[in-house]
Amino acid sequence: MSEAMGGSVAERVVAWQMASGRNHLPWQQTRDPYRVWLSEIMLQQTQVSTVLDYYARFLARFPDVAALAAAPQDEVMGLWSGLGYYTRARNLHRCAQQVVSEHGGAFPRSAEVLATLPGIGRSTAGAIAAFCFSQRVPILDANVRRVLTRLLGFDADLASARNEKVLWEHAQALLPVHDLENAMPRYTQGLMDLGATVCVPRAPRCELCPLNHSCVAFKKGDPERYPVKTRKLSRRSESWQLLVLRNPQGQVWLQRRPGTGIWAGMHCVPIFEDSASLHRCMETLPSASGLSVQELQPFVHVLTHRDLHLHPVLVTGVAAAQPTEDGEWLGAGQWSSIGLPAPIRKLLDTTQASLW
């Protein structure tokens, strides 16, 4: 990439890191892959300030990967306690054991092999390989993803694996090409530091950024738009049986929904997960009063994460004062003053109209 001002992106990141980046964190004073790996795993979902104490305690108890591998899992989990995301601790322990059993106690030197170890994803593998072995490989953690998407004006949706792959290719193309021994650790650290201190999610400090002359998002004035990532919603389908009980006065039996979940706290007709439970309930209704049972047209109600397939059954002529454990008889005049879910209101209105 040719740059109008101040050298390539990589050169500017390296120079900025030396002058203005973070250079005094304990894991920056070493190229020992055990220490770098430990810090990278701890930093994955935790702030630097919290990690500092834990990092020191771990190293005091487990000075090398063999000591960690030999420790009982309970002790590792105990030391991790308070850092959260305990899968990280379990993978940390398994990874140490695998480094000892399969790699003779030495971390592999290539990102590709590192990424085969438990708990080490592509970006963490890249960080270890770049910091410890100066391998020319990119990282793409959340901070770096933000910097690069803004720099490049990369607005493709990163929820798509294909777009994510394209961003990795861009990240690879931007890597330093000279003096890799020094430049790779500096550049990798520089991108992390930029994302953590300058190119922050809200109100990035672009005036301090070494990349502002070539940053597309800065030029367009919309850095906060990046990165673009829609959440993929996994849709579920659910089937509900609705029991619409109507008494001779034309009132409908309504219950209040639980305080959490769909239609929380609203009034609704009794809902059953399957028709067997619905029929069990119907069998308890007094039948001497001339009940009429009618299966109504099923319909689908679409929620954000779910499709509700609703199967209403209308039972008229119910004389029971208390047909189910909780609920109350409410007439059409009261429906508008209580919270009713839209599809239930529509169902009741339709049912009401058809009965006249």
Tell me which residues touch ligand SF4 (CB under 6 A). Answer: 147, 150-151, 198-199, 204, 206, 209, 211-212, 215, 217-218, 223
Task: Clarify whether 325 is annotated catalytic.
Answer: no
Between residues 59 and 151, which has the closer beta carbon with respect to ligand SF4?
151
Between residues 224 and 238, which has the closer beta carbon with respect to ligand SF4?
224
Measured CA to CA, the distance from residue 291 to residue 285 in angstroms comes to 9
C-beta of residue 296 within 8 angstroms of C-beta of residue 314? yes
Between residues 13 and 115, which has the closer beta carbon with respect to ligand SF4?
13
Give the CA-trace dihedral at 110, 112, 114, 116, to 10 degrees: -150
Which amino acid would we find at residue 321? A
C-beta of residue 296 within 8 angstroms of C-beta of residue 351? yes
In angstroms, what is the minimal distance from the CB of 203 to ligand SF4? 10
* 236 DSSP β-pair partners: 306
Nearest Cα residue to 300 out of 236, 235, 239: 239
In angstroms, what is the minimal distance from the CB of 76 to ligand SF4? 38
In angstroms, what is the minimal distance from the CB of 187 to ligand SF4? 14
Between residues 96 and 191, which has the closer beta carbon with respect to ligand SF4?
191
CA distances (Å), 217 to each of 40, 152, 225, in order? 28, 7, 8
Measured CA to CA, the distance from residue 130 to residue 116 in angstroms comes to 17
Measured CA to CA, the distance from residue 143 to residue 199 in angstroms comes to 8
In angstroms, what is the minimal distance from the CB of 82 to ligand SF4? 33
In angstroms, what is the minimal distance from the CB of 225 to ligand SF4? 10
Between residues 9 and 125, which has the closer beta carbon with respect to ligand SF4?
9
Measured CA to CA, the distance from residue 173 to residue 226 in angstroms comes to 20
The number of helix segments (H) and strand segments (E) in the chain equals 15, 8
Burial class (CB in 10 A: 0-12, 13-18, 19+), 211: buried
CA distances (Å), 266 to each of 70, 169, 190, 262, 325, in order? 56, 50, 53, 9, 17
Measured CA to CA, the distance from residue 44 to residue 313 in angstroms comes to 52
Between residues 200 and 291, which has the closer beta carbon with respect to ligand SF4?
200
The active-site residue out of 3, 11, 40, 238 is 40
Between residues 178 and 219, which has the closer beta carbon with respect to ligand SF4?
219
- Residues marked active site are found at 40
